[in-house]
């Protein structure tokens, strides 16, 4: 049976077109979007200012999929991790991150959500839990947006999300069309109303899609998950580098910064004995200066079953000092959620293993 389209995957203009085909006036689209994103109802029947006949037509043409929160873990630093079950029983994760002034220039009172874009991941970064069980499918726009709505509903209206990073499970640029559709809903005043400059998309290095993103007029931010300053290091831990090596990636970034007002960020997870040498710090700073990029250093969050570990505090500080000494804007992110295994994919993997163990 063919799956019907969830109404929350539509832009306002698309919704108006659908309603026009039902011989409904355009203003009905505004009423529906208010119910979806302001009042956040869970069914068409709750849209009480719509005629009953229209509610029946909507229920016949569109789905209203449920995103169920199945587990929540809370950290001592107030980071919270959410595990969701989707329509097909797939599991994905989001993380609500407390105020952090080092996170993409956000104000100290901002609340950031890290959202997933795929079930699993096909790109196989060696240090990451998301891809340990491979890739299942892309998330639809409504499944991406639903993560924000579900988390806000769970934590209450006093903790409104105002910063979104696409750094959860999956490679966002491998699901670019659905991600951009979701971002437009998140950004739109009729949607969630979060400013474009408070939305960051991360990529492991899909160079052609970076150029596509550069050509989009929306002024969102881009973060490059570099994690190695040379091809030798990146090849060891990030298979994507064999398709798009560092120079190809940096050339795509050159194109991006030439077309966008927003400053790039290099994400760099520090892994002991792998990418934390003085030489890597010097070369990373060189790449940062080339693009006038910010560098965000992140101590590795240990993943059970993987052999990697974080460098000592002294080594982290040394790496930071070298990068800053070369003239780039660099920050060392203080750990968030380490006590709840907040790195993406870990809670999903743990839950699936527990389910198998009880069968």
**pLDDT tops 90 at residue 40:** yes
pLDDT value at residue 238: 97
**pLDDT tops 90 at residue 157:** no
CATH number (1.10.150.530, 3.40.50.10420, 1.10.10.10, 3.10.20.740) of 7-61 reads 1.10.150.530
- Whether 234 contacts 268, CB under 8 Å: no
What CA–CA distances, in Å, run from 67 to 90, 98, 135, 306, 345? 10, 23, 20, 30, 17
pLDDT value at residue 291: 97
**pLDDT tops 50 at residue 297:** yes
Q: Which has the closest alpha carbon to 167: 211, 238, 222?
A: 222
Q: Which has the closest alpha carbon to 341: 292, 295, 305, 293?
A: 305
Q: How far apart are CA 157 and CA 248, in angstroms?
A: 44
pLDDT value at residue 110: 76
Q: How far apart are CA 138 and CA 248, in angstroms?
A: 25
pLDDT value at residue 155: 86
What are the residues whose beta carbons fall under 8 Å from the beta carbon of 5, sequence distance 6 or more? 61, 62, 63
For the segment 122-126, the average pLDDT, to the nearest whole number, is 93
**pLDDT tops 90 at residue 330:** yes
Reported confidence tier of residue 104, pLDDT bands at 50, 70, 90:
very low
Reported confidence tier of residue 343, pLDDT bands at 50, 70, 90:
low
pLDDT value at residue 1: 42
Q: Residue 335: exposed, middle, or buried by beta-carbon count in 10 A (0-12, 13-18, 19+)?
A: middle
**pLDDT tops 90 at residue 74:** no
pLDDT value at residue 3: 65
- Helix or strand or coil: residue 183? helix
Percentage of residues in the chain having pLDDT higher than 70: 88
Q: 51-65: per-residue pLDDT in tens?
A: 999 999 999 999 999
For the segment 331-345, the average pLDDT, to the nearest whole number, is 64
Q: Return the CATH number of the domain spanning residue range 68-357.
A: 3.20.20.70
**pLDDT tops 70 at residue 121:** yes
For the segment 142-163, the average pLDDT, to the nearest whole number, is 89
Reported confidence tier of residue 346, pLDDT bands at 50, 70, 90:
low
**pLDDT tops 80 at residue 356:** no
Q: In the numeric block, which tokens belong to residue 153?
A: 């509903």
Higher pLDDT, 359 or 171: 171
**pLDDT tops 70 at residue 341:** no
What CA–CA distances, in Å, run from 343 to 127, 253, 259, 339? 10, 26, 32, 10
Q: Is 344 among the residues known to form the active site? A: yes
Q: How far apart are CA 98 and CA 95, in angstroms?
A: 10
Q: Mean pLDDT, the chain, as a whole number? A: 90
- Whether 24 contacts 51, CB under 8 Å: no
**pLDDT tops 50 at residue 147:** yes
The string over 287-310, giving b where at least 16 C-beta atoms fall within 10 Å of a residue's C-beta and e elsewhere, is: bbeebebbbbbbbbbebeeeebeb
**pLDDT tops 60 at residue 187:** yes
- 98-107, 309-318, 319-328, range with the lowest pLDDT: 98-107
For the segment 25-32, the average pLDDT, to the nearest whole number, is 98
**pLDDT tops 80 at residue 100:** no
Q: Which of 65, 93, 143, 152 is catalytic?
A: 93
pLDDT value at residue 351: 58
Tell me, yes or no, if the pTM score tops 0.85.
yes
**pLDDT tops 50 at residue 215:** yes
Q: Is 152 among the residues known to form the active site? A: no
pLDDT value at residue 101: 47
Per-domain residue ranges for the chain? 7-61, 68-357
Q: How far apart are CA 209 and CA 192, in angstroms?
A: 25
Q: Which of 121, 128, 253, 344 is catalytic?
A: 344
């Amino acid at each position: 049976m063919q799956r019907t389209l969830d109404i929350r995957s539509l832009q306002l203009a698309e919704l108006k077109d659908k309603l026009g085909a039902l011989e409904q006036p355009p203003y009905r689209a505004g009423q529906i979007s208010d119910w979806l994103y302001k009042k956040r109802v869970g069914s068409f029947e709750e849209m009480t200012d719509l005629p009953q006949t229209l509610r029946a037509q909507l229920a016949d043409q569109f789905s209203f999929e449920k995103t169920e929160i199945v587990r929540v873990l809370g950290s001592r630093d107030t980071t919270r991790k959410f595990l969701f079950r989707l329509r097909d029983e797939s599991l994905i994760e989001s993380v609500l991150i407390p105020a952090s002034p080092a996170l993409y220039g956000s104000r100290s009172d901002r609340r950031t959500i890290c959202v997933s874009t795929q079930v699993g991941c096909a790109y196989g970064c060696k240090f990451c839990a998301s891809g340990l069980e491979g890739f299942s499918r892309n998330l639809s726009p409504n499944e991406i947006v639903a993560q924000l709505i579900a988390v806000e509903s769970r934590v209450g209206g006093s903790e409104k999300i105002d910063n979104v990073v696409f750094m959860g499970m999956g490679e966002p640029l491998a699901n670019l069309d659905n991600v951009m559709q979701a971002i437009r809903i998140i950004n739109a005043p009729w949607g969630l109303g979060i400013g474009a400059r408070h939305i960051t998309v991360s990529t492991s290095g899909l160079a052609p899609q970076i150029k596509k993103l550069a050509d989009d007029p929306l002024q969102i931010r881009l973060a490059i998950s570099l994690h190695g300053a040379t091809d030798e290091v990146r090849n060891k831990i990030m298979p994507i580098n064999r398709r798009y090596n560092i120079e190809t990636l940096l050339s795509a970034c050159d194109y991006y910064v030439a077309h966008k007002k927003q400053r790039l960020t290099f994400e760099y997870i520090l892994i002991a004995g792998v990418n934390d040498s003085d030489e890597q710090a010097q070369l990373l700073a060189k790449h940062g200066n080339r693009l006038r990029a910010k560098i965000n250093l992140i101590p590795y969050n240990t993943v059970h079953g993987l052999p990697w570990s974080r460098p000592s505090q002294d080594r982290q500080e040394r790496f930071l000092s070298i990068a800053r000494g070369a003239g780039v804007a660099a920050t060392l992110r203080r750990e968030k959620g380490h006590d709840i295994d907040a790195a993406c994919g870990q809670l999903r993997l743990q839950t699936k293993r527990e389910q198998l163990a009880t069968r």
